Chain A
Amino acid sequence: MLALRACDGLERNREACKKLVTEALKVLPQAKRKQLQRFVKTQSILVSKEHKRAGKGLDSADQGLVLADLAPDLVAAVFSHLGPCSLAVAACVCRTWRTDASKESRWRSIYEKAHGIPVRAESFTSRKHYFRDSVAEIFKGKGRQCLPYRSGRRLRDGCPIWLDDSVDHDSSPLLCLFVKEVTAYIVEGKGFALPPLLRGRHHQVHQHIGPWN
Protein backbone atom coordinates (compact mmCIF):
# COMPACT_ATOMS: atom_id res chain seq x y z
CA MET A 1 0.00 0.00 0.00
CA LEU A 2 2.78 2.34 0.91
CA ALA A 3 4.57 1.48 -2.25
CA LEU A 4 1.39 2.25 -4.14
CA ARG A 5 1.02 5.64 -2.53
CA ALA A 6 4.60 6.40 -3.41
CA CYS A 7 4.17 5.76 -7.08
CA ASP A 8 0.59 6.89 -7.58
CA GLY A 9 -0.23 9.64 -9.95
CA LEU A 10 2.79 8.97 -12.05
CA GLU A 11 1.68 7.97 -15.48
CA ARG A 12 4.47 5.65 -16.41
CA ASN A 13 4.14 3.77 -13.16
CA ARG A 14 0.60 2.74 -13.77
CA GLU A 15 1.44 -0.59 -15.34
CA ALA A 16 3.70 -1.41 -12.42
CA CYS A 17 0.96 -0.34 -9.99
CA LYS A 18 -1.48 -2.67 -11.61
CA LYS A 19 0.84 -5.60 -11.24
CA LEU A 20 1.55 -4.68 -7.67
CA VAL A 21 -2.13 -4.51 -6.85
CA THR A 22 -2.94 -7.88 -8.38
CA GLU A 23 -0.06 -9.47 -6.53
CA ALA A 24 -1.06 -7.82 -3.29
CA LEU A 25 -4.68 -8.89 -3.69
CA LYS A 26 -3.58 -12.49 -3.69
CA VAL A 27 -1.60 -12.22 -0.49
CA LEU A 28 -3.47 -9.82 1.75
CA PRO A 29 -6.22 -10.87 4.17
CA GLN A 30 -9.83 -9.94 3.52
CA ALA A 31 -10.01 -6.66 5.44
CA LYS A 32 -6.79 -5.35 3.99
CA ARG A 33 -7.89 -6.38 0.56
CA LYS A 34 -11.08 -4.38 0.75
CA GLN A 35 -9.15 -1.39 1.93
CA LEU A 36 -6.76 -1.73 -0.95
CA GLN A 37 -9.52 -2.13 -3.49
CA ARG A 38 -11.22 1.00 -2.26
CA PHE A 39 -7.96 2.83 -2.43
CA VAL A 40 -7.30 1.70 -5.96
CA LYS A 41 -10.80 2.65 -6.99
CA THR A 42 -10.50 6.22 -5.79
CA GLN A 43 -7.08 6.48 -7.31
CA SER A 44 -8.14 5.27 -10.71
CA ILE A 45 -11.07 7.66 -10.67
CA LEU A 46 -8.64 10.47 -10.02
CA VAL A 47 -6.45 9.31 -12.84
CA SER A 48 -9.27 9.16 -15.34
CA LYS A 49 -10.49 12.62 -14.35
CA GLU A 50 -7.06 14.03 -14.89
CA HIS A 51 -6.96 12.40 -18.23
CA LYS A 52 -10.26 13.83 -19.31
CA ARG A 53 -9.18 17.26 -18.24
CA ALA A 54 -6.08 16.88 -20.32
CA GLY A 55 -8.36 15.98 -23.21
CA LYS A 56 -6.65 12.70 -23.84
CA GLY A 57 -9.21 10.21 -22.72
CA LEU A 58 -8.17 6.93 -21.22
CA ASP A 59 -5.62 5.05 -23.17
CA SER A 60 -7.04 1.59 -23.27
CA ALA A 61 -3.78 -0.16 -23.88
CA ASP A 62 -2.11 0.59 -20.60
CA GLN A 63 -5.26 0.03 -18.59
CA GLY A 64 -6.02 -3.41 -19.86
CA LEU A 65 -9.66 -2.35 -19.93
CA VAL A 66 -10.26 -2.96 -23.54
CA LEU A 67 -13.34 -5.06 -23.97
CA ALA A 68 -15.76 -2.72 -22.24
CA ASP A 69 -17.57 -1.38 -25.25
CA LEU A 70 -18.41 -4.45 -27.26
CA ALA A 71 -21.44 -4.03 -29.43
CA PRO A 72 -24.55 -5.81 -28.12
CA ASP A 73 -24.66 -8.27 -30.98
CA LEU A 74 -21.03 -9.15 -30.34
CA VAL A 75 -21.77 -9.78 -26.68
CA ALA A 76 -24.61 -12.04 -27.74
CA ALA A 77 -22.29 -13.92 -30.07
CA VAL A 78 -19.76 -14.35 -27.29
CA PHE A 79 -22.38 -15.61 -24.88
CA SER A 80 -23.52 -18.26 -27.30
CA HIS A 81 -20.11 -19.88 -26.82
CA LEU A 82 -20.38 -20.02 -23.06
CA GLY A 83 -21.19 -23.07 -21.01
CA PRO A 84 -23.71 -22.96 -18.18
CA CYS A 85 -21.29 -22.08 -15.38
CA SER A 86 -19.67 -19.23 -17.23
CA LEU A 87 -23.03 -17.97 -18.38
CA ALA A 88 -24.22 -17.76 -14.81
CA VAL A 89 -21.08 -15.86 -13.87
CA ALA A 90 -21.57 -13.51 -16.81
CA ALA A 91 -25.06 -12.74 -15.56
CA CYS A 92 -23.58 -11.44 -12.32
CA VAL A 93 -21.23 -9.00 -13.98
CA CYS A 94 -23.36 -5.98 -14.87
CA ARG A 95 -26.86 -5.00 -15.92
CA THR A 96 -26.47 -5.29 -19.67
CA TRP A 97 -24.80 -8.64 -19.37
CA ARG A 98 -27.45 -9.85 -16.97
CA THR A 99 -30.23 -9.07 -19.40
CA ASP A 100 -28.55 -11.02 -22.14
CA ALA A 101 -27.24 -13.90 -20.07
CA SER A 102 -30.61 -14.48 -18.42
CA LYS A 103 -32.46 -14.97 -21.69
CA GLU A 104 -34.51 -18.10 -21.63
CA SER A 105 -33.51 -19.03 -25.17
CA ARG A 106 -29.90 -19.38 -24.09
CA TRP A 107 -30.71 -21.55 -21.13
CA ARG A 108 -33.10 -23.51 -23.20
CA SER A 109 -30.44 -24.52 -25.68
CA ILE A 110 -28.16 -25.55 -22.83
CA TYR A 111 -30.99 -27.53 -21.33
CA GLU A 112 -31.58 -29.24 -24.63
CA LYS A 113 -27.93 -30.10 -24.98
CA ALA A 114 -27.82 -31.43 -21.44
CA HIS A 115 -30.69 -33.77 -22.14
CA GLY A 116 -29.72 -34.50 -25.68
CA ILE A 117 -33.22 -33.85 -27.00
CA PRO A 118 -35.08 -30.83 -28.21
CA VAL A 119 -37.91 -29.78 -25.96
CA ARG A 120 -41.34 -29.02 -27.21
CA ALA A 121 -41.97 -25.33 -26.92
CA GLU A 122 -45.37 -25.60 -25.35
CA SER A 123 -44.44 -27.95 -22.54
CA PHE A 124 -42.58 -25.58 -20.22
CA THR A 125 -43.68 -22.10 -21.00
CA SER A 126 -45.83 -21.71 -17.92
CA ARG A 127 -43.01 -20.90 -15.51
CA LYS A 128 -40.66 -17.99 -15.82
CA HIS A 129 -37.02 -18.98 -16.03
CA TYR A 130 -37.95 -22.62 -16.17
CA PHE A 131 -34.85 -23.61 -18.11
CA ARG A 132 -32.39 -21.60 -16.11
CA ASP A 133 -33.74 -23.06 -12.92
CA SER A 134 -33.66 -26.60 -14.22
CA VAL A 135 -30.09 -26.27 -15.39
CA ALA A 136 -29.24 -24.78 -12.02
CA GLU A 137 -30.90 -27.77 -10.42
CA ILE A 138 -28.59 -30.14 -12.29
CA PHE A 139 -25.54 -28.21 -11.31
CA LYS A 140 -26.30 -27.42 -7.72
CA GLY A 141 -23.43 -28.46 -5.51
CA LYS A 142 -21.41 -29.49 -8.51
CA GLY A 143 -20.90 -26.23 -10.34
CA ARG A 144 -18.69 -24.85 -7.65
CA GLN A 145 -16.24 -27.65 -7.90
CA CYS A 146 -16.34 -27.85 -11.63
CA LEU A 147 -15.07 -24.38 -12.33
CA PRO A 148 -11.35 -24.16 -12.87
CA TYR A 149 -11.68 -20.98 -10.89
CA ARG A 150 -8.92 -18.44 -10.83
CA SER A 151 -6.36 -19.61 -13.30
CA GLY A 152 -7.02 -23.25 -12.94
CA ARG A 153 -6.33 -23.58 -9.26
CA ARG A 154 -8.98 -26.20 -8.82
CA LEU A 155 -7.76 -28.31 -11.64
CA ARG A 156 -4.15 -28.09 -10.74
CA ASP A 157 -4.96 -29.29 -7.28
CA GLY A 158 -6.37 -32.44 -8.74
CA CYS A 159 -9.48 -33.47 -10.49
CA PRO A 160 -12.73 -32.73 -8.70
CA ILE A 161 -14.32 -35.79 -7.23
CA TRP A 162 -17.64 -35.52 -8.98
CA LEU A 163 -15.95 -35.94 -12.33
CA ASP A 164 -14.83 -39.35 -11.18
CA ASP A 165 -18.41 -40.39 -10.69
CA SER A 166 -19.75 -39.21 -13.98
CA VAL A 167 -16.94 -40.52 -16.12
CA ASP A 168 -18.09 -44.01 -15.27
CA HIS A 169 -21.14 -43.63 -17.41
CA ASP A 170 -19.55 -42.19 -20.48
CA SER A 171 -22.72 -41.20 -22.18
CA SER A 172 -23.76 -38.96 -19.32
CA PRO A 173 -24.84 -35.67 -20.85
CA LEU A 174 -23.88 -34.03 -17.61
CA LEU A 175 -20.29 -34.87 -18.31
CA CYS A 176 -20.49 -33.14 -21.66
CA LEU A 177 -21.52 -29.98 -19.93
CA PHE A 178 -18.57 -29.98 -17.61
CA VAL A 179 -15.99 -31.28 -19.98
CA LYS A 180 -16.41 -28.33 -22.27
CA GLU A 181 -15.59 -25.95 -19.48
CA VAL A 182 -12.76 -28.04 -18.16
CA THR A 183 -11.12 -28.90 -21.44
CA ALA A 184 -11.18 -25.33 -22.65
CA TYR A 185 -8.42 -24.84 -20.16
CA ILE A 186 -6.56 -27.94 -21.09
CA VAL A 187 -6.86 -27.55 -24.80
CA GLU A 188 -6.14 -23.85 -24.86
CA GLY A 189 -2.80 -24.59 -23.28
CA LYS A 190 -3.27 -22.59 -20.14
CA GLY A 191 -0.14 -24.13 -18.77
CA PHE A 192 -1.05 -27.29 -17.01
CA ALA A 193 -1.34 -30.92 -17.87
CA LEU A 194 -4.45 -32.94 -18.34
CA PRO A 195 -5.82 -34.01 -14.96
CA PRO A 196 -4.97 -37.64 -14.19
CA LEU A 197 -8.54 -38.71 -14.64
CA LEU A 198 -8.74 -37.42 -18.18
CA ARG A 199 -5.29 -38.55 -19.21
CA GLY A 200 -5.43 -40.90 -22.13
CA ARG A 201 -8.99 -39.82 -22.74
CA HIS A 202 -8.25 -37.10 -25.22
CA HIS A 203 -10.30 -38.80 -27.81
CA GLN A 204 -13.21 -39.17 -25.49
CA VAL A 205 -12.97 -35.61 -24.39
CA HIS A 206 -13.06 -34.44 -27.95
CA GLN A 207 -16.00 -36.60 -28.66
CA HIS A 208 -17.80 -34.96 -25.81
CA ILE A 209 -16.96 -31.54 -27.05
CA GLY A 210 -18.17 -32.45 -30.51
CA PRO A 211 -21.82 -31.51 -30.25
CA TRP A 212 -20.86 -28.24 -28.61
CA ASN A 213 -18.92 -26.86 -31.49
Chain B
Amino acid sequence: MRTVILRSSDGADHIVSSEAASLSRTVQSLLEELEAKEGEESPLIVPLPNVCDCTLRKVLQYCIQHTEPGTNLTGRIHVSETRRRDLEVWDRNYMLVSTDELYHLVMAAHYLNVPGLLELCCEGIANLIRGKSPQHVRQHFGLVNNFEKAEEEDIRRTNLWALVDEKELAKK
Protein backbone atom coordinates (compact mmCIF):
# COMPACT_ATOMS: atom_id res chain seq x y z
CA MET B 1 0.00 0.00 0.00
CA ARG B 2 1.30 3.47 -0.82
CA THR B 3 1.79 6.11 1.80
CA VAL B 4 1.03 9.77 1.40
CA ILE B 5 2.33 12.78 3.25
CA LEU B 6 -0.26 15.39 4.18
CA ARG B 7 1.16 18.74 5.14
CA SER B 8 -0.95 21.01 7.35
CA SER B 9 -1.06 24.81 7.24
CA ASP B 10 1.60 25.08 9.94
CA GLY B 11 3.95 22.78 8.09
CA ALA B 12 3.57 19.59 10.08
CA ASP B 13 3.67 16.37 8.08
CA HIS B 14 1.36 13.42 8.60
CA ILE B 15 2.08 10.10 6.98
CA VAL B 16 -0.98 8.03 6.17
CA SER B 17 -1.93 5.28 3.81
CA SER B 18 -3.31 6.47 0.51
CA GLU B 19 -6.44 4.49 1.27
CA ALA B 20 -7.16 6.58 4.36
CA ALA B 21 -6.23 9.82 2.62
CA SER B 22 -8.58 9.06 -0.23
CA LEU B 23 -11.57 9.27 2.09
CA SER B 24 -11.14 12.96 1.45
CA ARG B 25 -12.29 13.59 -2.08
CA THR B 26 -10.25 16.75 -2.25
CA VAL B 27 -7.08 14.88 -1.39
CA GLN B 28 -8.05 12.06 -3.68
CA SER B 29 -8.31 14.29 -6.73
CA LEU B 30 -5.11 16.10 -5.76
CA LEU B 31 -3.37 12.75 -5.52
CA GLU B 32 -4.52 11.70 -8.93
CA GLU B 33 -3.22 14.93 -10.39
CA LEU B 34 0.09 14.52 -8.60
CA GLU B 35 0.47 10.96 -9.75
CA ALA B 36 -0.15 11.91 -13.34
CA LYS B 37 2.38 14.70 -13.14
CA GLU B 38 5.17 13.19 -11.07
CA GLY B 39 4.94 9.54 -11.96
CA GLU B 40 4.26 6.57 -9.76
CA GLU B 41 7.49 6.44 -7.81
CA SER B 42 8.09 9.87 -6.36
CA PRO B 43 6.88 10.61 -2.81
CA LEU B 44 3.44 12.15 -2.71
CA ILE B 45 3.24 15.31 -0.64
CA VAL B 46 -0.12 17.05 -0.44
CA PRO B 47 -0.10 20.54 1.05
CA LEU B 48 -3.34 21.49 2.80
CA PRO B 49 -3.10 25.21 3.49
CA ASN B 50 -6.61 25.50 4.94
CA VAL B 51 -6.28 22.95 7.72
CA CYS B 52 -4.28 23.43 10.89
CA ASP B 53 -2.24 20.69 12.46
CA CYS B 54 -4.48 19.69 15.37
CA THR B 55 -7.59 19.60 13.22
CA LEU B 56 -5.85 17.55 10.56
CA ARG B 57 -4.77 15.09 13.20
CA LYS B 58 -8.34 14.72 14.34
CA VAL B 59 -9.59 14.29 10.79
CA LEU B 60 -6.97 11.63 10.12
CA GLN B 61 -8.06 9.75 13.23
CA TYR B 62 -11.42 9.48 11.58
CA CYS B 63 -10.02 8.48 8.20
CA ILE B 64 -7.81 5.77 9.65
CA GLN B 65 -10.55 4.38 11.84
CA HIS B 66 -12.90 4.25 8.90
CA THR B 67 -10.51 2.52 6.53
CA GLU B 68 -9.56 -0.34 8.80
CA PRO B 69 -10.35 -3.76 7.43
CA GLY B 70 -14.02 -4.56 7.29
CA THR B 71 -15.14 -0.98 7.02
CA ASN B 72 -17.72 0.40 4.76
CA LEU B 73 -15.54 1.34 1.85
CA THR B 74 -16.94 1.89 -1.57
CA GLY B 75 -16.98 -1.39 -3.38
CA ARG B 76 -17.02 -3.52 -0.26
CA ILE B 77 -20.57 -4.53 0.31
CA HIS B 78 -20.19 -6.92 3.18
CA VAL B 79 -19.83 -5.09 6.43
CA SER B 80 -20.20 -7.14 9.54
CA GLU B 81 -22.93 -6.01 11.87
CA THR B 82 -20.66 -5.85 14.91
CA ARG B 83 -18.11 -3.79 13.05
CA ARG B 84 -20.77 -1.32 12.05
CA ARG B 85 -21.98 -1.02 15.61
CA ASP B 86 -18.43 -0.56 16.89
CA LEU B 87 -17.92 2.23 14.43
CA GLU B 88 -21.10 3.92 15.55
CA VAL B 89 -19.90 3.89 19.14
CA TRP B 90 -16.51 5.12 18.04
CA ASP B 91 -18.10 7.94 16.09
CA ARG B 92 -20.13 8.96 19.08
CA ASN B 93 -17.06 9.14 21.29
CA TYR B 94 -15.18 10.91 18.53
CA MET B 95 -17.81 13.62 18.57
CA LEU B 96 -17.18 14.48 22.22
CA VAL B 97 -15.36 17.70 21.41
CA SER B 98 -15.74 21.33 22.34
CA THR B 99 -17.84 23.63 20.18
CA ASP B 100 -14.69 25.29 19.01
CA GLU B 101 -13.10 22.05 17.86
CA LEU B 102 -16.34 21.02 16.25
CA TYR B 103 -16.36 24.22 14.25
CA HIS B 104 -12.85 23.69 12.96
CA LEU B 105 -13.66 20.09 12.26
CA VAL B 106 -16.73 20.88 10.22
CA MET B 107 -14.85 23.47 8.20
CA ALA B 108 -12.05 21.00 7.56
CA ALA B 109 -14.48 18.26 6.61
CA HIS B 110 -16.16 20.68 4.24
CA TYR B 111 -12.92 21.73 2.63
CA LEU B 112 -11.45 18.24 2.47
CA ASN B 113 -14.78 16.87 1.33
CA VAL B 114 -15.04 13.85 3.61
CA PRO B 115 -18.73 13.01 3.27
CA GLY B 116 -18.98 10.70 6.29
CA LEU B 117 -17.23 13.10 8.62
CA LEU B 118 -19.22 16.04 7.36
CA GLU B 119 -22.44 14.20 8.05
CA LEU B 120 -21.21 13.31 11.52
CA CYS B 121 -20.28 16.90 12.31
CA CYS B 122 -23.60 18.21 11.07
CA GLU B 123 -25.37 15.82 13.34
CA GLY B 124 -23.14 17.01 16.16
CA ILE B 125 -24.13 20.60 15.49
CA ALA B 126 -27.78 19.63 15.21
CA ASN B 127 -27.48 18.13 18.66
CA LEU B 128 -26.26 21.47 19.91
CA ILE B 129 -29.42 23.14 18.65
CA ARG B 130 -31.69 20.50 20.05
CA GLY B 131 -33.41 21.43 23.27
CA LYS B 132 -32.40 25.07 23.34
CA SER B 133 -34.55 28.17 23.19
CA PRO B 134 -34.00 30.57 20.27
CA GLN B 135 -32.21 33.01 22.56
CA HIS B 136 -29.99 30.21 23.79
CA VAL B 137 -29.16 29.13 20.26
CA ARG B 138 -28.21 32.69 19.35
CA GLN B 139 -25.90 32.93 22.32
CA HIS B 140 -24.33 29.61 21.60
CA PHE B 141 -23.78 30.20 17.90
CA GLY B 142 -22.97 33.87 18.11
CA LEU B 143 -25.86 34.81 15.87
CA VAL B 144 -27.48 38.22 15.93
CA ASN B 145 -31.20 38.60 16.17
CA ASN B 146 -31.83 40.60 13.01
CA PHE B 147 -35.60 40.38 13.01
CA GLU B 148 -37.79 43.43 13.02
CA LYS B 149 -40.04 43.46 16.05
CA ALA B 150 -43.14 42.61 14.06
CA GLU B 151 -41.34 39.91 12.13
CA GLU B 152 -40.11 38.23 15.25
CA GLU B 153 -43.55 38.36 16.80
CA ASP B 154 -44.90 36.77 13.65
CA ILE B 155 -42.42 33.90 13.45
CA ARG B 156 -42.74 33.24 17.16
CA ARG B 157 -46.48 32.99 16.84
CA THR B 158 -46.23 30.49 13.98
CA ASN B 159 -43.86 28.29 15.92
CA LEU B 160 -45.32 28.83 19.34
CA TRP B 161 -46.05 25.16 19.76
CA ALA B 162 -42.36 24.39 20.02
CA LEU B 163 -41.39 27.20 22.32
CA VAL B 164 -41.43 27.01 26.06
CA ASP B 165 -42.90 30.07 27.64
CA GLU B 166 -39.94 32.11 28.81
CA LYS B 167 -41.98 33.78 31.51
CA GLU B 168 -43.11 30.45 32.78
CA LEU B 169 -39.50 29.36 33.09
CA ALA B 170 -38.48 32.53 34.84
CA LYS B 171 -41.00 31.88 37.56
CA LYS B 172 -39.50 28.53 38.41
Interface residue from B130, B155, B170 paired with A86 (Cβ < 8 Å) = B130
B152 touches A74 (CB 8 A): no
B126 touches A82 (CB 8 A): yes
Q: Which residues of B contact A144 (CB under 8 A)?
A: 161-165
B126 touches A94 (CB 8 A): no
Q: Is A66 an interface residue (CB 8 A)?
A: yes
Q: Is A68 an interface residue (CB 8 A)?
A: yes
Q: Digit string of A177-194 for contact with B (CB within 8 Å is 1, else 0)?
A: 000010011011000000
A92-B155, A144-B163, A188-B92 known; A67 vs B125 contact (CB < 8 Å): yes
29 CB-based A-B contacts, threshold 8 Å: A30-B170, A33-B170, A61-B100, A68-B141, A68-B143, A74-B122, A81-B122, A81-B125, A81-B127, A85-B162, A86-B131, A88-B162, A89-B129, A89-B137, A89-B159, A91-B158, A92-B163, A94-B143, A94-B144, A98-B155, A136-B159, A136-B161, A142-B161, A144-B162, A150-B136, A150-B164, A181-B130, A184-B130, A184-B131
Question: Ordered nearest first, which 4 A-B pairs have the shortest CB separation?
Answer: A65-B142, A81-B126, A88-B162, A88-B159
Q: Which residues of A contact B83 (CB under 8 A)?
A: none
B: residues with CB less than 8 A from A are 92, 99-100, 102-103, 106, 110, 118-119, 122-123, 125-134, 136-138, 140-147, 151-152, 155-156, 158-159, 161-165, 167, 169-170
Q: In whole angstroms, how far apart are the Cα atoms of A190 and B142 in the complex?
A: 22
A89 touches B163 (CB 8 A): yes
Interface residue from B100, B152, B167 paired with A66 (Cβ < 8 Å) = B100
A90-B137, A95-B147 known; A29 vs B170 contact (CB < 8 Å): yes
Q: In whole angstroms, how far apart are the Cα atoms of A123 and B21 in the complex?
A: 47
Contacting B at CB under 8 A, from A65-116, are: 65-68, 70-71, 74, 77-86, 88-95, 97-98
Interface residue from B142, B145, B162 paired with A89 (Cβ < 8 Å) = B162
B131 touches A74 (CB 8 A): no
A82-B129, A94-B145 known; A150 vs B169 contact (CB < 8 Å): yes
Contacting B at CB under 8 A, from A133-170, are: 136, 139-144, 147-152
A90 and chain B: residue at smallest CB distance: B129
Q: Is A63 an interface residue (CB 8 A)?
A: yes
Q: In whole angstroms, how far apart are the Cα atoms of A30 and B38 in the complex?
A: 68
B123 and chain A: residue at smallest CB distance: A81
CB distance from A209 to the nearest CB of B (A): 12
A78-B126, A83-B130 known; A60 vs B143 contact (CB < 8 Å): no
Q: Is A55 an interface residue (CB 8 A)?
A: no
B156 touches A67 (CB 8 A): no
Q: In whole angstroms, how far apart are the Cα atoms of A163 and B37 in the complex?
A: 62
Q: In whole angstroms, how far apart are the Cα atoms of A136 and B142 in the complex?
A: 28
Q: In whole angstroms, how far apart are the Cα atoms of A82 and B159 in the complex?
A: 15
A93 touches B143 (CB 8 A): yes
A139 and chain B: residue at smallest CB distance: B161
